[in-house]
Amino acid sequence: MDLGSFNRSRAWSFAGTVIPPLALLLILALFISNVEAWNPATFFGRYADDALYFSCAQALAHHRGYILPSFPGMPLKPQVPILYPLLLSEVWKISPQFPENIIWAIRLTEGFGCLALLCTFFLLRRIAGLAVVPSLTITAVCALHPVLVRLSGLAMTDVPFAAMFLFALLLTQLALSSGTSLGPTAALGVVAALSASLRSLGYMVAVGLLAYILYRREYRRALVYSFAACLTTLSVLLLTAHYAPMGAAGNAISSNGAGSQWERLVVFHTEYVRFHWRMGIPTIGAFFSMIKENCLQLVSSPGPFLAGAFDRRSWLLTAGISAIVLSGVVRLLRRPEWRALAFIAIPYIFVVILWPYPLMDRFLLPFLPIFLLATVLESKRLLSMAKINLVSPASWTNRVLAAALCVILIGYGVFAGWTYLFRDRQALRDAANAQAKTLAQKGEVYSWIREHTPADAKIVAYDDILLFLYTQRQALRPIALLPSTAYSKMAGSDSPDLDRDLSQLSDAPRDAGATYWLVTGDDFSLDADPEKTASRQNEIADVLPLVFRSSGGFARLYDSSCLLSPARKDCEGTQAVLFPGTR
C-alpha cells in the first residue's frame, strides 16, 4: 500500500468523525484496566529481572553509577542494557519510596503497552490495508491477550521491546515511501538502535532492516539508516561507560579470595553470553539437545501462545492452531508489503533457536498482531474451502471433513475467547491472592532484618535483589545454577554435575561473608531440578540456628555465621553438612 492510500485510509481523523479515535481510547482504557485489575505490584521480583532493573535504576537515581548495588564486594556492572534502568531511574526521582513506587514502574510498562497497541492499529491500517472496524477489532483482541496483559504488569523490557519492534515496522513503511525525504529513515535507525538498547534481540531488528533496505537497493537510505543507528548505539555505549565504574566486574571476581561458585555468580550477573552459552552449553551433545528442544518449542508455541494457554493440557488442546498460524504467517510474509518483517524474522528466529533459556511467550510477544492477522486470514481461507465442500457436488467424505474443519475452527475461537475473558482472569486473580500472601510472609522477615541487623550485614537469599530493595542490605543467591541443558550429562563427558554444584552451595555465601541465610517456600522454582536444590538448602538450614520465622512459616531466617567461623565450638558439627568433601 502506498503513502497516498495510507493518507486516504486516515481520512476519518480529519473528516469530523470521532468514533475511531474514541474507540482507540476505549481500547487503551480497557487494556490498562485489565492490567491493574490483577494487582501486578504483588508480583514484583517474582521473575528477578524486574528487581534487577529497578535496583540498577535506584543506583543511577542516587548517583552511584550503573552498578548492581545489591551484590556484596566491589560493585558489578550489570549484564542488562542501560536504557530501561535509565528510564526507571526517573521513577525513583519522582517517587523515592519503595515499594510504593513500584506502581509507577508498572505504569511505565503500561505506557509502552499502549504504544504497542497504537502501532498495531496503524500497522493493520497501513500495511495490511484493513478497514477501521477490523483494525480496531484485532487491536482490541491484542489488548485482551493474556501474555500482553501479564507482561504489561511487570517492570521488564518485554513490552517496551515489543512496542519498539512494532514502531520500527511502522516507520519502515513510512521511511521507504516518503519520496526523497530521509528524515523518517534516520528516525528508523534511531528506533532500531533503541530497541537493541532494550534487549539484545533488537540487534536482529536493526540488522534485518538494514538487509531489507539493501535488498531494495536504497543505498542512500541504507547509509542514512546505518549512520543514525550507529550514532545512537555509540551514544548509549558512551552513556554506559560514563555511568559504569572502571573494571568493576574484574575487581569483584578477585575479591575475597573467591572460588568457582563466587566467580560463577559474578559471571551470572555481568556476562550473559559467557554464562548461558560458554558455561551453559559445555558439550556438542548439549548444544544439539538445546537446538532440538528449541525448534520443537518454536513450531509448537504459536497456537498455545495465541490462545493464551499455559498449562500442559491447554498446550495439547491448542497444538492444531500452530499449523494454522504458521501457514498464515508464511502466506503473509510472501506479500511485498510484509517483506520487511520477513527480513527481521529470519535473524530473530535464528537467535531464538540458539537461545539456551527459551521463553517462547516472551519471545513471540512482538509478533502478536501479526499472528492474529495471519490466523484471521488463514481461517477465512479455510472456511471458504470448507464452504465449497459442504454442498454438492462434493463427496460425503469431503463434506464430513469440511464440517469437522468448521467445528475445529469455531472450537478454537470459543476456547481462546473463554481463556481471554474468563479463564485467565480467574487464574490471575488466584495467583495474585497467593502471591500477596507470600509477599506478606516475606515482608515480616524483611522488616525484622531492617530492625535487627547491622547496615553492613550480608544475607543469602534466592530473591537477593528483592531483599536488597526492601532492606537495603546487600545479598546474594547461594548459587547460580546453569541452564538445565548444561546438566544433561552424557557418559564419559565433562558436563557440569548438579550434585557437585549443590555440594558447593555454601561456598559463595562463605566468600561473601554472609551472616544470615533466608529460606522461603518458593526458592529455586525457576531453576534446574528445584526440588533437589531446595532439599540441599534445607539440609544446610537444619544445622544453622533459626533467628526468625514468619507467622505462616513460609520464610525462615537463619544465623549463618558458622560459614565464617568453622573453628567455633558450636560450629564444629556443621562443617560436614556445610562443606561436604572438604574433610
Whether residue 344 is found in the same domain as residue 436: no
Q: What is the pLDDT of residue 248?
A: 53
266 domain residue, yes or no = no
Whether residue 201 is found in the same domain as residue 323: yes
Q: Are strands 555-559 and 516-520 parallel, antiparallel or unpaired?
A: antiparallel
Inter-axis angle of helices 102-126 and 132-144, to 10 degrees? 150
| Chosen domain end from 410, 428, 446 | 428
Mean pLDDT by 10 residues, the chain (583 residues): 41 57 94 92 89 95 92 86 94 94 95 97 92 92 94 95 96 83 91 93 94 94 96 92 68 49 90 83 82 88 84 73 90 91 94 85 94 92 82 77 83 86 86 89 95 94 95 93 72 67 91 94 81 91 93 93 84 85 59
| Chosen domain end from 378, 407, 428 | 428
Q: What is the pLDDT of residue 180?
A: 67
DSSP label of 276: I
258 domain residue, yes or no = no
Q: Please state, in angstroms and rounded to a whole number, the distance separating the CA atoms of residues 81 and 65.
A: 14
Residue pair 269/71 in contact (Cβ under 8 Å)? The answer is yes
436 domain residue, yes or no = yes
Q: What residues contact residue 36 under an 8 Å CB cut-off, 6+ apart? A: 106, 110, 153
Burial of 137 (0-12, 13-18, 19+ CB in 10 A): middle
360 domain residue, yes or no = yes
Q: What is the pLDDT of residue 488?
A: 66
253 domain residue, yes or no = no
250 domain residue, yes or no = no
Q: What is the pLDDT of residue 493?
A: 52
| Chosen domain end from 406, 428, 450 | 428
Q: Please state, in angstroms and rounded to a whole number, the distance separating the CA atoms of residues 550 and 567.
A: 31
Query: Into how many domains does the chain fold?
Result: 2
Residue 393: cis peptide before it, omega within 30 degrees of 0? yes
140 domain residue, yes or no = yes
Whether residue 391 is found in the same domain as residue 484: no
Closest CA relative to residue 83, chosen from 207, 195, 202, 217 = 195
Domain range for residue 75? 3-245+280-428
- Within the chain, what is the greatest distance between any pair of CA atoms? 93
269 domain residue, yes or no = no
Phi, psi of 433 (to 5 degrees): -65, -45
The answer to whether the pTM exceeds 0.75 is yes
Q: What is the pLDDT of residue 15?
A: 40
Residue pair 247/451 in contact (Cβ under 8 Å)? The answer is no
